[in-house]
Chains A and B, each alone.
Chain A
Amino acid sequence: MAMVLPLACGGRLAGSAAVVAQEKGRVFLATALHLLGTSDEVQIAIPPHGGDITVPQVYPLTQAPIAAARVVTTDPFCDLAILEIQGSLGMPVPPICTDQNLPAVGTEVVVLGYPFAPIGSMLETWTPGHVTARARQQIIEGVLVDEIVLSVTAHPGASGSAVVGRKDGVLYGILRGALAPPEVMKIGNLPVATDTTVTFATCAAYIPPLLQFAKEH
């Protein structure tokens, strides 16, 4: 199963980041670029369960060890960022889907991430759902980005979550948003919920070339 950790920007929890590669004391994580915003300080929190969703989690946590992360590269079209932290983590890295094994509509998936991270939650959840559509977001005429649409509700902090095949454990996508205007159900400036289950994830097939670039830089 994928290992997902909380992402903090500017000293505040913002969302989730999925471990996508480890080598030679370097750990690479994929997350949603829009989370990084205007923060030049990016960190990964390492809660006591270490991203192992099978372990009981104590909550609420008021603090956790953190690792400084470097933004190695980004793909603004795909809303993806690759981060690097130093060290090693104890869990295996999931296989990443390629153009050849994109999930079909109806595929059972699970979303692993930290819903409500922006209000301080470091409770990781495993949320089952299905691929309800395969989409191609048109960024500009002629520039399309492959996405998968999921039947799960994306709460704030879910951005950057891993979308993993329930049967094969393949990383199919990185969750990036939901079909809902950000005005829906807010407390102050913080959107807290949406009534839609039309949730978008950027296809993970975009990650390997970014990872290759990251490893070389």
Chain B
Amino acid sequence: MAGLDLTGLSEEALLAELPVPVRQRITEMSGRSVPEDQIGAVLALAPGGSIARKGAGSWRADLWPAVVQELRVLCCTDDARYADIRDKWTGLQGDTASTAVAALSGAIGASLGLAAGVVAPVVVWGLVTVLRLGLGVFCRQTEPKKLEVPAG
């Protein structure tokens, strides 16, 4: 399969890269069988998730689907956008999860125009989702839907 081989990354090691409070809340939701997609959406939506919000307020509400799409481009395709990190990936795999998360968050953040620290929790959860589903299923599930135009 094209893309990125995630062998060597484990769910535990990835979650350990999150601050304790974030990890605890994800674990709580996971323990109550909240679907992965919903946890990702909550993680991404939370800063704007209530009416109690004003100020610059430019947090993007579509962060979760945007990160999922970037992970798809990274893991399921050979798109040139992530050629650099794919080239370095073999070396990163032998390193700690911390280095891998930093590199992936940096690359995806740069693609989305976000600081790595902002996007890191959502990227970590996206990678956990990929590991839980398996790369093949993730790639199939996130395939862009073909627009069907009725004939005639």
Contact = CB atoms under 8 A, between A and B. Distances in A.
Interface stretch (B43-51, B127-135, B138-146): B43-51
Interface string A11-37: 000110000000000000000111111
Interface string A24-60: 0000000011111111101000000000000000000
B51 to A, nearest CB: 6
Interface of A: 9, 14-15, 32-40, 42, 70-79, 81-82, 118, 137, 139-140, 142-143, 154, 156-159, 176-182, 191, 194, 200, 206, 209-210, 212-213, 217
A74 B115 CA distance: 11
Interface string B85-105: 000000000000010000000
B21 interface: yes
Nearest to B45: A76
Given A118-B56, A143-B28, A191-B54, A40 B117 contact: no
Given A37-B60, A140-B29, A143-B42, A75 B115 contact: no
Interface stretch (B4-12, B67-75, B76-84, B106-114): B106-114
Given A9-B56, A32-B55, A76-B22, 10 more contacts: A9-B58, A14-B56, A71-B116, A74-B118, A79-B46, A140-B42, A178-B52, A182-B57, A209-B20, A210-B19
Interface string B1-31: 0000000000000000001111001001100
Contacts of B115: 36, 39-40, 42, 70-71
A83 B28 CA distance: 27
| Interface band, chain B | 35 or more
Lowest 7 CB-CB distances: which A-B pairs, in order? A37-B58, A71-B117, A34-B47, A159-B55, A71-B115, A213-B19, A177-B52
Contacts of B48: 34
Interface of B: 19-22, 25, 28-29, 32, 34, 38, 42-44, 46-60, 98, 109-110, 112-118, 120-122
20 contacts: A32-B55, A33-B47, A33-B118, A39-B113, A71-B117, A74-B120, A75-B121, A76-B121, A77-B21, A77-B46, A79-B47, A142-B29, A154-B54, A156-B55, A156-B56, A177-B53, A177-B55, A178-B54, A191-B54, A212-B19
A89 to B, nearest CB: 21
Among B48, B110, B122, chain A packs the most CB atoms within 10 A around the CB of: B48
B59 A34 contact: yes
B20 to A, nearest CB: 5
A84 to B, nearest CB: 9
A42 B58 CA distance: 14
A143 B56 CA distance: 25
Contacts of A140: 29, 34, 38, 42
B53 A35 contact: no
A179 B52 CA distance: 5
Contact of B49 (A139, A156, A200): A139
A213 B20 contact: yes
Among A33, A70, A200, A210, chain B packs the most CB atoms within 10 A around the CB of: A33
A88 B123 CA distance: 32
A137 to B, nearest CB: 6
B19 A35 contact: no
Among B25, B54, B57, chain A packs the most CB atoms within 10 A around the CB of: B54
Contacts of A142: 28-29, 32
Contacts of B56: 9, 14-15, 34-35, 37, 118, 156-157, 159
